[in-house]
Amino acid sequence: MVFLQAEMSWNVLISPTQLSPKGLLLRKAIIVRLLEDIANRKASKDHGYYIAVNELKAISEGKVRELTGDVLFPVTFTCITQKPMKGEILVGSVDKILKHGVFLKSGPIESIFMSEKTMNDYKYIGGENPMFMNAHSKLEKDTAVRFKVMGFRWMEADRQFQLLATLAGDYLGPL
Amino acid sequence: MSGEEEENAAELKIGEEFLKAKCLMNCEVAIILEHKYEQIQHMSDGDPASQVSQVFEKSLQYVKRFSRYKNPDAVRQVRETLSRYGLAEFELCTLGNLCPDTSGEAFALVPSLRSGGRFEGDAGNDKIEKMLNDLSLIKKFE
């Protein structure tokens, strides 16, 4: 999983109640609001998951919104992000084991499916603690697995990515 | 189901902005996120876990679990070592994260290493082996 530190811009909206005569509080209000906005946004199709805001680079002049009286501050900042890439090798942990495949989680990505068709020599073993087993290793809940990203899509409704994983390849599988 | 047209990390076709952006390894992100978590702990009286987003928490858990190097000096050394081999940021971080043991594994996990004529033939293999050796030495003396 490769994390990127990217520079980006955002418009922070400050309501007039937060505008105090003391200029120092304004900067803090902008930072707090930015952190809240980014945390709520979670992820976007272009940038991927927003992990953490790093540094506030610049705050431009505020513009007053005529109708509401809020002030809009365009800001630029650096942010740590993570975006899945096709063909990338990732490490994740097993979340759920089903007959037709395995659900994995990896960092902020919660929805990764690996079909049993890509797990050629593994056999499904059901029961109270289901698992996939082959001659040398097994996959059960919480096992760390190295897999390749076959493809992914952005789900606007949930604001998250859904990944398709494969175990077909050299040096892939449980760690 | 796919990303943008033609995008493929194996061939390092990952979009211009990502090629130019600075990449961070798990161990580097672990240090940054832990520091931020402490900052939030100091700034607020309540439980910091309720102040950070789910994305932050899951990422922190993940990078703590899958960082090979914990000591900040070791992390710095890893980046310095890998920087000497003419790698793209994306390749550097993938190698630093996955820590392959052999050059064969390295080429399998980061196929774009084969392009650009940087690591060709036996000399290329030896270069990769030396790089991986240096990384495991850093781990030994962490």
d(Cα A71, Cα A75) in Å, to the nearest integer? 12
CB contact under 8 A, B94 and A2: yes
Is the pLDDT reported for residue B1 higher than 50?
A: no
E strands, B1-108, are 22-24
- Taking the CA of residue A66 and the nearest CA in chain B, the distance in Å comes to 32
B80/chain A closest Cα distance in angstroms = 17
Separation between Cα atoms, residue A155 and residue A109, nearest integer Å: 12
In this prediction, residue A175 carries a pLDDT of 86
A35 touches chain B (CB under 8 A): no
Domain ranges of chain B: 20-65, 72-140
Q: In what order do the strands lie in the sheet with A131-133?
A: A123-125, A131-133, A138-139
What are the distances in angstroms from CA B35 to CA A33, A76, B16, B109? 21, 22, 30, 31
* Cβ distance of A42 and B62 shorter than 8 Å: no
**A106: closest chain B residue by CA:** B62
What is the amino acid identity at position B53? Answer: S
Token pair for A121: 């020599």
pLDDT (tens digit per residue) in A126-139: 999 999 999 889 99
Q: Is the pTM of this model over 0.80?
A: yes
d(CA A83, CA A149): 12
The structural architecture, per CATH, of the domain B72-140 is Up-down Bundle (1.20)
Virtual CA dihedral for A170, B1, B7, B11, nearest 10 degrees? 10
d(CA A43, nearest CA chain B) in Å = 9
- Angstrom distances, CA of residue B29 to CA of A20, B25, B62: 36, 6, 10
Digit-coded pLDDT (tens) for B98-140:
999 999 999 999 988 988 888 888 999 999 999 999 999 998 8
Q: What is the mean pLDDT of chain A?
A: 91
State the Cα–Cα distance between residues A7 and A78, nearest whole angstrom. 4
pLDDT band at A28 (very low <50, low <70, confident <90, very high): confident
Predicted confidence (pLDDT) per residue in B37-60, tens digit:
988 888 766 676 677 888 999 999
A149 to chain B: nearest residue by CA? B9
Residues of B in contact with A40 (CB under 8 A): 53
Residue A70 predicted with pLDDT over 50:
yes
B7–A85 C-beta distance less than 8 A: yes
The pLDDT of residue B12 is 65
The verdict on a CB contact (< 8 Å) between A1 and B26 is: yes
Predicted local confidence at residue B55, as pLDDT: 93
| Mean pLDDT of all residues in A4-31 | 82
Q: Is the pLDDT of residue B86 over 70?
A: yes
Kindly provide the ipTM of the predicted complex, given to two decimals: 0.88
Torsion of CA A83, A29, B34, A82, to 10 degrees: 0
Question: A16-30, A74-88, A97-111: which range is least confident on average?
Answer: A16-30
Is the pLDDT at B2 greater than 50, yes or no?
no
Q: What pLDDT, on a 0 to 100 scale, did the predictor assign at position A20?
A: 64
Q: Does B1 touch chain A (CB under 8 A)?
A: yes
Q: Do A108 and B32 touch (CB under 8 A)?
A: no
Confidence of residue B4 (pLDDT cuts 50, 70, 90): very low
Using alpha carbons, list the distances in angstroms from residue A153 to A84, A127, B5, B54, B84.
10, 32, 12, 20, 36
Q: Which amino acid is at A111?
A: S
In tens, the pLDDT along A147-157 reads 999 999 999 99
Per-residue pLDDT reduced to its tens digit, B55-75: 999 999 999 999 989 999 999
Question: Given a cut of 70, is residue B15 above it in pLDDT?
Answer: no
For A49, which of B7, B55, B100 is closest by C-beta distance? B55
Chain segment A36-62, per-residue pLDDT in tens: 999 999 999 989 999 999 889 999 998
Chain A residues with beta carbon closer than 8 angstroms to that of B25:
3
Contact B94 A106 (CB under 8 A): no
Q: Over 70: is that where the pLDDT of A65 sits?
A: yes
